Structure 1
Amino acid sequence: MTESEFYSFVVPDAQGNDVKLSDYKGKVVMVVNVASSCGKTPQYAGLQKLYEKYKDQGLEILAFPCNQFAFQERGSNEEICTFTRDKYKVTFKMFAKTTVNGGDTIPLYQYLKKEGEGSLFNAIKWNFTKFLVSKSGKVLQRYSPNTEPEDMEEDIKKLLAE
């Protein structure tokens, strides 16, 4: 079996450091595009709860702030991290603000949209679209922004047990 393309990506974190996704081999990974001024922003609390409950079993949450949906993520990387840490006590990995749709879409999101089943044109429809990636780097599931983090718990538990 060839290694998953998921592990080939290198993306900048919120502090400007390059992060190799190969560092997450053997982990269950949730990738989510986030925003601080969205009606769905309270999902940060549910994401953090899942992370705290399952991080020691191998769950990683990778959050990618995005300002493409009604300009709901206007802050700098530092402001975003401060907001999520202060308001939601977020401790999972925050990445640099990015683009998930259009011509400037980062390669990771091009890949996620191609591999994770979606709707017409596979575009990300809104903030808090989530992708669940197996321990082997396979994109297994795409969840809509309306899917609450706790509604993903059974899927996460199954993947962690594999």
Structure 2
Amino acid sequence: MSGPANGRFMYFAFGSNLLKERLQLANPSAIFCTTGRLKDYELNFGLWEKHADNTWHGGVATIECHPGAEVWGVIWTLSNENLASLDNQEGVNLGLYSPLEVSVETDKGMVLCRTYQMNNFHACPPSPQYKQVVCLGAEQNGLPMEYLKRLEAIQTNNYSGPSILDQIRPVLK
């Protein structure tokens, strides 16, 4: 596992950034490291304000403390130069998300990673497009089948207009 010494950092993704093509839109240095699970957290979808307008047209992923639960995700290594672009993508400068240091369990042992948690959470279902990106990323990176089934069972808000998925689709071909 690499450390800060070589100019890279570890990032635990659990939402739309599970999908390599999504993450690399703004963070081209992202390289797959491994998959892992974050214990005592659960995955949730929502917004930082009751009626926030966002590019996904619905709730987005966050993690919340929940003893006994677990969130599966992907550990990416990114160049330190992408730390600012990742923070910007997550809305840290706007106060939407806060960076968090978490210990993620992998088959190579515990890995200390940066991840993000939504501030001022309001539950809200995701758009079908956002859910599709999360599910595609989970599939692309081989997350456990039972976790994939849980993701596929998530209810959406049935939004059917344009979204960021339109920018990702051409790259997926």
Same topology, TM > 0.5: no
More strand as a share of residues:
2
TM-score, scaled relative to structure 2: 0.29
TM-score, scaled relative to structure 1: 0.30
Larger radius of gyration: 2
More helix as a share of residues:
1
